[in-house]
Structure 1
Amino acid sequence: MVREQYTTTTEGTHIERPENQSVYKIGIYGWRKRCLYLFVLLLLIILLVNLALTIWILKVMWFSPTGMGHLHVTEDGLHLEGESEFLFPLYAKEIHSRVDSSLLLQSAQNVTVNARNPEGEVTGRLKVGPKMVEVQSQQFQINSKDSKPLFTLDEKAVVVGTDKLRVTGPEGALFEHSVETPLIKPDPIQDLRLESPTRSLSMDAPKGVHIQAVAGKIKALSQMDIVLHSSDGTLVLDAETMCLPRLAQGTRGPASSLRGLYEICACPDGKLYLSVAGVGTTCHENSHICL
């Protein structure tokens, strides 16, 4: 650009112009101009590449106004379709499946679900491994669909809330300590067997123990003694026929008593034995069995 100088004159005045006029150039010329154009071109190329990459990422990740891919954002939370893989921990308040499908949690090693308190400490843990399911909590409870507790477990007791506890194992149920229950009965086509292979079997109740076999027989076997004891009451054996086939039998009495009749005698220690019946009692004649 050329800067021109103007001088105000009046009429009749003649002013001579200077012969040498000063010219100033304003702008970027030469190699600076070429570097500036090259830098602008480079920025334009980077802008176009970023725009192309952004469009490609949006297309590959299936971004949409409602979410990304199979993940959709709804009013109730996040809706995920198909199978998904999480490389890091997943934090959620509630996880549920669709109405017409089930929820599947699958892992190559194990599946662990943790519950934490506001301080971040683990208060409950469910770990499903390849060989064992481990639950770490103060109380473990299983409820029915109507919120009725079916199974409750804590450090002090185990409560089964069902109407019937069924054990289908071939060897029955094994209890190392005492069992408290109002009723024990088998299936209609099975026999009920209470057994203690190495120790004694004791049944106690404050108001009595009732044992009933409606369509069968009751059989009690013991290698040592069977004791029927009533602390305040009477022991009643009420049956149409009562047989004691292995009672000790005393020697025969007088010849006049050979009628095939016997009387049951008791020793001071409670032992029973048979004595041939006579006109009077013959127990004293065979009391040597009590020795």
Structure 2
Amino acid sequence: MVREQYVRTTREEGVPEPAPDYLYKVGIYGWRKRCLYLFVLILLAILVINLALTIWIVRVMWFNMEGMGLMQVQPDGVRLEGESDFLYSLYAEEIHSREDSALLLDSTDKVFLHARNENGNVTGRVSVGPEQVQGDVQQLVVSSSSGKMLFQADGKEAVVGNNKLRITGPEGAMFQHSVQTPLIRGEMSKDLKLDAPTRSLSMDAPAGVQIKALSGALSLTSNRDVQLHSTEGLVVLDAEMVRMPNLELGTAGSGGATDLYEVCVCPNSGKLFLSPASVTSTCGTSQQC
């Protein structure tokens, strides 16, 4: 409260005359003053709370000059140290692991990898689940570190690009349809077996089929007929001895033609040999058996 007195003099008497007192109030008083103090107090409390929350967030999130906690912002991207959890989708052009550790993608349910085109449509997907790994792509290519194609598959065919395809299962390999290959070879210490339990087994090649047993025996077993057929050439059995032990013997024929031979079979071994034809059979007089 400020009190001001104004003194007024009279020309007639020259004695000062006290002026009336006037009261001027400067500032805010009453309930306005209390509301202002309350507002300032609330604002100060909010400022302190915000400062405390900011310090807490910086401390919890580990903000530093390089990034945030285990995440470092670098010129070529973002680097994460340790384990990181993503609650929603992750979009990245490339994901690399550190040089001294592997890259691990872990999920309690499934892991999905999607590839999209420029229109946002999914063109390829790979899902890894607890019981199944499934991939939907137009073409699957597996290459070596040198860039050589090892395996390629699409909707029409599957190609193995390596020099050798090795199947180590004890039951071998089962093919439901045709198989086209230039060579089928068994292991050095094991037999090679081609088996068709309920149907026929057919081997066809435009330039010929060659079957070799370099250090063992060759066995062909069939419940019905075994046919060796050549459309434009000969069927040659080139061996030191060809035996047919269950072949029935024929009867001697008659004829006087020269330069003719008859096929003879040894009754004890089934050996086949040629003998000059005569009026009667000469197989019995031959010394081949």
Instruction: Report the TM-score, using the length of structure 2 for normalisation.
Output: 0.82
Cα distance in 2 for residues equivalent to 1:19 and 1:55: 62
Structure 2: stretches of 5+ with no match in the other structure: 254-261, 282-289
How far apart are 1:144 and its partner, in Å?
0.8
Shift of 1:23: 3.8
Pair 1:15–1:197, CA change in 2 (3 A)? farther
Q: Which residue of 1 aligns with 2:38?
A: 38
CA contact (8 A) 2:7 2:19 kept: no
% identical equivalent positions: 53
Letter in 1 for 2:117: N
Asked whether 1:48 is paired with 2:48, we answer yes
Tell me by how many angstroms 1:25 deviates. 2.2
Q: 1:278 Cα deviation (Å)?
A: 9.5
Matched with 2:127 is 127
Query: Equivalent residue of 1:95, what SS?
Result: coil
Q: Does the CA contact (< 8 Å) of 2:7 and 2:17 recur in 1?
A: no
Deviations 1:26-61 (A, max 9, x none): 321122112211210111111011101110111111
Runs of 4+ in structure 1 deviating by more than 3 angstroms, as ranges, are 1-7, 14-24, 250-253, 262-265
Could you tell me which amino acid in structure 2 is paired with residue 220 of structure 1? L
Instruction: Look up the equivalent residue of 1:246 and give its one-letter code.
Output: N
Instruction: State the AA in 1 paired with 2:278.
Output: G
How many residue pairs end up in the alignment? 266
- 1:153-206 superposed Cα distances (whole Å, 9 cap, x missing partner): 110110111111111111111111111111110111111111111111111111
What runs of 5+ residues in structure 1 fail to find an aligned partner? 254-261, 266-271, 284-291
CA separation in 1, counterparts of 2:64 and 2:82?
17
The residue aligned with 2:278 is 280
After TM superposition, list the pairs within 5 Å mapping 1:94-243 onto structure 2: 94-243=94-243
Does structure 2 retain, via aligned residues, the 8 Å contact 1:247–1:273?
A: no
Q: Is the 8 A contact 1:112 1:128 kept in 2?
A: yes
Question: Cα deviations across residues 122-149 of structure 1 (Å, max 9, x unaligned)?
Answer: 1111101111100011111111111211
Contact conserved, 1:2 with 1:25, CA < 8 A, in 2? no
- CA change 1:251–1:64 in 2 (3 A) is same
Equivalences for residues 259-274 of structure 1 within 5 A? 263-264=263-264
Letter of the 1:45 counterpart: A
The answer to whether the 8 A contact 1:71-1:81 is kept is yes
Deviates further, 15-24 or 72-81 = 15-24
8 Å Cα contact 1:250-1:273 kept in structure 2? no
Aligned to 1:29: 29
Instruction: Report the CA distance shift for 1:279/1:230 in structure 2 as closer, same or farther (over 3 A).
Output: closer
Tell me the C-alpha RMSD between the 2 structures.
3.1
Q: 1:35 corresponds to which letter in structure 2? A: C
Structure 1 residues 94 and 282: CA distance shift in structure 2, 3 A: farther
